[in-house]
Amino acid sequence: MSIYLDHAATTPMLPAAIEAYVDAMSVVGNPASIHSQGQNAKRMLEEARETVARSVGCDPIEVVFTGGGTEAINLALKGLFWARAPRRRILVPGGEHHATMDTVEWLENHDGAEPGWLPLDRAGRVDPARVADALGTGAEDVALLSLLAANNEVGTLQPVAEIGEIAAVHGIPVHIDAVSAYGQVPIDFRALSGAGRTGASGGAGGSAGGIVALSLSAHKIGGPVGIGALVLSRRASIVPLIHGGGQQRQVRSGTQDVAAAVAFAAAASALGDVPARNVHLRALRDRLIAGVLAVVPTAVLNGAAPDGPDEQRLPGNAHFTFPGCEGESLLFLLDAAGISVSTGSACQAGIPEPSHVLRAMGRSEAEARSALRITLGRDSTGADVDAFLAALPAAHAQASRAGMNDRVPTR
Amino acid sequence: MSGGVDSAVAAARAVEAGHEVVGVHLALSRMPGTLRTGSRGCCTIEDSMDAQRAANIIGIPYYVWDFSERFKLDVVDDFIAEYAAGRTPNPCMRCNERIKFAALLDKAIDLGFDAVCTGHYASIQTDAAGNRELHRASAWAKDQSYVLGVLTAEQLEHSMFPLGETPSKAEVRAEAAERGFSVATKPDSYDICFIPDGDTRGWLAERVPASAGDILDREGNTLGRHEGAAAFTVGQRKGLQIGTPAADGKPRFVLEVRPITNTVVVGPKEALAIGLIAGSKFTWTGLAPEHPGIAFDCDVQIRAHADPVPAVAQVVSVPVPAGADSAGAGATDAGAIELVITPREPLTGVAPGQTAVLYVGTRVLGQCTIDRTVSAVPVPSAAVEPAPVAVPAARA
Ligand SMILES: Cc1ncc(COP(=O)(O)O)c(C=O)c1O
């Protein structure tokens, strides 16, 4: 029996999404075809788009389906950067997901971008005042700003609305990576983007300012892997990454994956009332956090405090540093006990890397190596949490004995 | 599991022998290459994926453990420092000594494992009293007992080499193919894993500052100039660029590299013959000889694929040379002790920094890092080098 506590990596597909997926896969028809079967496919696709749009409060036309969160982020960052040429600066906090970090670094190395890395505080939060400072001292050359809605490792929610307002004042377009926040906290794109805000449109250089783009991924909410969306404001102009048949507002060419979109929509419509749904998740998480701190008193909770309705933390996220232990050792021992957790982001080929998020939050290399992320999902139970808490003390004791990998060997 | 054929077959055999096996791939670099290039057979993402695919087929869990920090400190930095000190290091032995059978073994034991199992070709046997002994693999052509000579009795207690009794590498490849491993025909690696393009000299040149110095003959006469002493290896003939030919017209070879004075000593080929080697960093592989202080017979091997040569060895105390820094010179505070090895016929191609492994028959007895060598051919003018034995270069 294995207990899955890594829902932030991916969460099980909902039975309803699997059913919708399979059913849709047996329907023939390219949504771009003119005949009736094409029209039928198109109808299924657009209904899916409407459902996804509803789940984040945007217009259906603003939903651009992509091959996942990573592609959506690449499209937003590169597409906005190119559309905003010759502006070169990209404001972005440290500790973003690799899809953002690596795209920004690629633009820096290949396309003359100048990243302005914004600091995180000890809880992993970006201070809006720092954004105001950065824009106050010369917004002219800023192409865009991008940030997470919620950090996927430590679970800290960012003040995106506030930062979006500041950027809007300066006419700077903002992209939000909402992949990890999706389904965990309510997202209202219309409110965030300030649609209808006076003076919000027509920023120089083609793109309007404020929040104009937002990335989603289906497999974080019980949909399939391999489909996501970039919610792209009708006010925004963007240069496409993929050219071809001109599908989806010319922004993302290629025959559209109707079945995946339908399955994505099935998961999106199952989100329902997000805050209500997450009451259970939050209660489980608080039990888990209290339990960990009780059985391993040296454990340190990272991220924002879980303190009720206004808390700045994802309801399904618990993230700890276990001083003196390699996260990798804990992961191995817990895995051997049948419990799946994460050290944060495993980069390439399963090589664990010290958490760049904790580093960006000012923690030491050793602390960044000693991290463990436990994330809950909609089917997590109290029994799962109890099993984890039962296995943790022994795993922790053994991992402490093994110590850090850079210790001087005794043999 | 490096991603090569040997460790994959070793893992499969360990499973079949009834052990509970977990595949571990060592991440030795924080910036691994993506794809395998040239003759390297480990340490890229592709190699890690190969290892994982083999583990999948065997049906064992698989993890990557990151020892890049220790590897840098104990293997890469050591390699650079040894080279800069004019010595000839063997990073693969250092990796066995400090990483695979030390850092990895320590961690494994602390996490509840009993042993580290690798695809080395060497054999562990047990003597009548139950003590573990390391022996050559039955396939001498593939024998890797030399690079395992650094193992101590305790490390040996926790090691397993399931390939030791296999008659040939071909057999291992055939078995891998039968088991459906994609790595069955993967080429062997023979280069240093952390030097991606195999250009060891170029890699070192970027990391060890060089400055010009003198090239001397054995009598101490200056024959020419060089661009940096560390770039020379004992036995090297090419690239000396000495204007005047030797009196006897014969080619000259590098006999010694002295980084402290930044000089290179050259001489005739005959002078490369080494009559004595000694070192203060030595270990016993399994049981130590009963009376190491009394000269004993053994065979000495000075490179992975060199032939063993009959020798006499003995542990002796050496007085610390006056004015020398005693730190690091030996195992005790009172004075250094040294393993002194006298081959029955002179050795060639041996330099400080290399490891001498001692054998008795097929059994590995122990090893020492060579600190100093003494030529079998006396220096023509004794006035220059008064000591009866050459003072080690690093302490000259
Ligand atoms: C915050 C965040 N952004 C982006 C991604 C990438 O999404 P995808 O896996 O769909 O490419 C993930 C998930 O791995 C994520 O957590």
Query: Which residue's C-alpha comes closest to atom 14 of ligand 1?
Result: A9
Q: What pLDDT score was predicted for residue B389?
A: 45
Pocket of ligand 1 (CB under 6 A): A 68-70, 73, 97, 99, 148, 152, 177, 179-180, 217, 219, 228
Cα separation, A191 vs A200, in Å, equals 13
Cα separation, B57 vs B365, in Å, equals 37
CB contact under 8 A, B27 and A351: yes
Q: What pLDDT score was predicted for residue A89?
A: 97
Chain A residue at shortest CA distance from B23: A332
Q: What pLDDT score was predicted for residue B326?
A: 43
In order of start, what are the domains of chain A with their CATH numbers? 15-269 (3.40.640.10), 273-402 (3.90.1150.10)
> Which of B30, B62, B70 comes nearest A405 by C-beta?
B70
Chain B residue at shortest CA distance from A330: B111
Catalytic residue among A27, A61, A347, A397: A347
Q: How confident is the model at residue B260 (pLDDT cuts 50, 70, 90)?
A: confident
Cβ contact A377:A11 at 8 Å: yes
Residues of A within 8 A of B101 (CB-CB) are 411
Closest-CA residue to B147 (of B201, B230, B75): B75
| pLDDT tens per residue across span B208-231 | 888 899 999 888 889 888 988 888
Concatenated DSSP letters for A50-97? HHHHHHHT--GGGEEEESSHHHHHHHHHHHHHHHTTT--EEEEETT--
The pLDDT of residue B150 is above 80: yes
> CB distance from A137 to chain B under 8 Å?
no
> CB distance from A399 to chain B under 8 Å?
yes
Cα separation, A69 vs A227, in Å, equals 7
Cβ contact A231:A213 at 8 Å: yes
Q: CA-based angle B147:B153:B154, to the nearest 5?
A: 105
> Which of B27, B102, B112 comes nearest A409 by C-beta?
B102
The pLDDT of residue B72 is above 60: yes
CB contact under 8 A, B67 and A410: no
Residues of B within 8 A of A370 (CB-CB) are none
Q: What pLDDT score was predicted for residue B192?
A: 85
Chain B residue at shortest CA distance from A366: B69
- Among A206-215, B104-113, B162-171, B176-185, whose mean pLDDT is lowest? A206-215
* Half-sphere exposure for B42 (CA within 13 Å, toward CB): 22
Q: What pLDDT score was predicted for residue A307?
A: 85
B81–chain A nearest CA distance, Å: 19
The pLDDT of residue B49 is above 70: yes
The pLDDT of residue B295 is above 60: yes
Mean pLDDT over residues B136-164, rounded?
A: 94
CB contact under 8 A, A405 and B32: no
Residues A251-281 as b or e (16 or more Cβ within 10 Å = b)? bbeeebbbbbbbbbbbbbbbbeebeeebeeb
Atom of ligand 1 lying closest to residue A345 CA: 14
What is the average pLDDT value for chain B, to the nearest integer? 86
The pLDDT of residue B159 is above 70: yes
Q: What pLDDT score was predicted for residue A145?
A: 98
Q: How confident is the model at residue B3 (pLDDT cuts 50, 70, 90)?
A: very high
The pLDDT of residue B330 is above 60: no
Cα of A230 from ligand 1 centre, angstroms: 12
pTM of this structure = 0.87
- State which amino acid sits at residue A280: H
B35 has binding-site annotation: no
Q: Which token pair is A136?
A: 């106050």
User: Given CA atoms A195, A196, A197, A202 in this order, what sign does their dihedral have?
Assistant: positive
Cα separation, A217 vs A148, in Å, equals 13
CB contact under 8 A, A405 and B61: no
> CB distance from B48 to chain A under 8 Å?
yes
* Residue pLDDT tens, chain A, 411 long: 799 999 999 999 999 999 999 999 999 999 999 999 999 999 999 999 999 999 999 999 999 999 999 999 999 999 999 999 999 999 999 999 999 999 999 999 999 999 999 999 999 999 999 999 999 888 999 999 999 999 999 999 999 999 999 999 999 999 999 999 999 999 999 999 986 554 444 444 444 899 999 999 999 999 999 999 999 999 998 999 999 999 999 999 999 999 999 999 999 999 999 999 899 999 999 999 999 999 999 999 999 999 877 899 999 999 999 999 999 999 999 999 999 999 976 655 566 778 999 999 999 999 999 999 999 999 999 999 999 999 999 999 999 999 999 899 887
For residues B91 and B240, which has the higher predicted lDDT (pLDDT)? B91
CB contact under 8 A, B63 and A350: yes
In order of start, what are the domains of chain B with their CATH numbers? 5-185 (3.40.50.620), 210-270 (2.30.30.280), 273-375 (2.40.30.10)
